[in-house]
Amino acid sequence: MTGPRLRFAPSPTGFLHVGSARAALYNWLFARQQGGELLLRIEDTDEARDREEWVEGIFEALRWLGLDWDGEPVRQSTRAARHAEAAATLEAAGRTYWCDCTRDAIDQRAHAAGRPPGYDGFCRDRGLGPGEGRAMRFATPTSGATVVHDLIRGEPTFDNAVIDDPIIVRSTGKAMFVLANVVDDIDMAITHVVRGEDHLPTTPKYLLLWEALGGGELPVFAHLPMLVNEKRQKLSKRRDSVAVEEFRAEGFLPEVMVNYLALLGWAPTDGRERLSVDELVREFRLTDVNSSPAFFDLAKLRAFNGDTIRAMAPDDFALAAGPWLSGPLDPRLVPLVQERVVTLAEVAPMVDFIDAEPVIDPASWDKAMAIPAAASVLERAADAYQALDDWQAATLKEALVAVGESLDLNLKRAQAPVRVAVTGRSVGPPLFESLEVLGREVTLRRLQAARARLG
RNA sequence: GCCCCCAUCGUCCAGCGGCCGAGGACGCCGCCCUUUCAAGGCGGUAACACGGGUUCGAAUCCCGUUGGGGGUGCCA
């Protein structure tokens, strides 16, 4: 007995969004845990919307997340002959008919008859043959019921009478999604179909087609809860910015994405939330996945990312942040910055004053320089730093404490003008370590420039 | 309209008939620490949608209501 065979079957119509990534992850976790296989199928049959660049983007995003797959990805577009063959089989078995109804005609008939929208089987018995503007429909049973066996949802049951006859071959001769999907799953010997809940309503058609094609043992289904936005609507590529590639660019860590995504719809029962990939593979249970939709909470993702960054070895952190920086970050500042960022992209703006002249933030300036003694602080700090023997954080701090005392200011207040003068902002890494790295010359120049600016 | 799915703190989860006067995490609030900002420590706020059943006992099972979502394409 071989392991289960799963598939992730995205259509290349955009970036990989987090909902798809979550589906890919759950497929991957289950396959890896069960010693099965995860196949990749690119459903590129929508010429109007598919773009080749998205295909490579999907591969790249999956690789970044650490989700690998078995064998070469299957391009659905290369399987047209098999789809046509399957359609011919169904036609020969008398399970199909040709239809020349336009969408308008269908709608008008429904409206005129006061029936709900949807195809009415108008062409079922017209005996039409293939031809211009004619599509092939699959004749679904008019009685009985079709049951979906779903690991997550139990057994959703659909009356066959309410299942419309789907178009399976377009008038162009190309297979529609349902047919291609079923034929490919049969040929790829898929045993478990793990996908979004949005596919559940079309699953009975899938099942009926599978049986009509003699696909053999039916796959087991697991329809995952949708990922929703703050309005509790299904995440959409257009409306919501949720591309995996974007999170990557913003400096989220791949293991954090995987950890967080895994928890959207599933959790171990002991309450642990920070799980390694190995732990996820070991502990994940498809049957324990929730059935209710989950909101993708950026705040929690950020919390996880910050935690993980802080837990990194400083060298690893510096290495990881590299791509977001123009040059190397002084080792003395690495741990200080590491503790203060949530994403890797936040590193650069935090230390930009080191290598470039500070950009003065007006609000910070106004607040720090508002105290009457600000000018004196800058002057005396410059004097003290000019005379300082030992240019180190500890002595720099001592000297400024003394300056503060001479002006009756505590360090909290005395450091503010210096910080803004040197970094341009009121927030940033610890001041004295920053000055140490900056060096005497630059520090003095910036203190004097700020003093001059004060007038 | 019709079909299907869903329903525990603001959010994500735990709970699978008694251990629940409901637990954890994120968020939020307060306090402590503190050279800014963080981090850290401590404490707090906050939920079983509603109504019927079943049962000695229900957040947990059943039915209904309400609410939300998805589907209903010659898209996938």
Supply the ipTM of this predicted assembly.
0.95
Is A300 (CB) below 7 Å from strand B?
Answer: yes
Question: Residues A65, A20: contact at Cβ < 8 Å?
Answer: no
A42 nearest nucleotide via C1' and CA: B76
Burial level of A94, CB count in 10 A (0-12/13-18/19+)?
A: exposed
Among A279, A275, A223, residue whose Cα is nearest residue A33: A279
Question: How many Å apart are A272 CA and B24 C1'?
Answer: 8
Average pLDDT over residues A257-278: 95
Question: How many Å apart are A256 CA and B67 C1'?
Answer: 34
A393 nearest nucleotide via C1' and CA: B35
pLDDT at A114: 86
Is A78 (CB) below 7 Å from strand B?
Answer: no
Q: Beta strands A135-138 and A5-8: pairing type?
A: unpaired
pTM of the full predicted structure?
0.95
Question: How many Å apart are A211 CA and B75 C1'?
Answer: 24
Q: pLDDT confidence of A50, banded at 50, 70, 90? A: confident
Question: How many Å apart are A303 CA and B30 C1'?
Answer: 21
Q: Beta strands A5-8 and A37-42: pairing type?
A: parallel
Q: Which two tokens stand for residue A213?
A: 């094609």
Is A335 (CB) below 7 Å from strand B?
Answer: no
**Considering only residues 102-161 of protein chain A, which place a Cβ less than 7 A from any atom of strand B?**
102-103, 116-119, 133-135, 153-154, 156-159
Nucleotides on strand B with an atom closer than 7 A to protein CB? 1-8, 10-16, 23-27, 35-40, 68-76
Cα dist from A13 to A223, A236, A248, A420, whole Å? 22, 12, 19, 47
Question: How many Å apart are A255 CA and B59 C1'?
Answer: 34
Is A43 (CB) below 7 Å from strand B?
Answer: yes
State percent of chain A over pLDDT 90.
92
Active-site residue, from A174, A205, A234, A237: A237
Q: pLDDT confidence of A392, banded at 50, 70, 90? A: very high
Q: How far is CA A135 from the centre of its chain?
A: 37
Among A4, A45, A11, residue whose Cα is nearest residue A194: A4
**A237 noted as active-site residue:** yes
Is A307 (CB) below 7 Å from strand B?
Answer: yes
User: Residue A232 carries which side chain, given as an amino acid letter?
Assistant: R
Average pLDDT over residues A73-92: 97
Average pLDDT over residues A144-160: 96
For residue A424, pLDDT over 70 is answered with yes
Q: What pLDDT, in 10s, does the model give residues A327-372?
A: 999 999 999 999 999 999 999 999 999 999 999 999 999 999 998 8
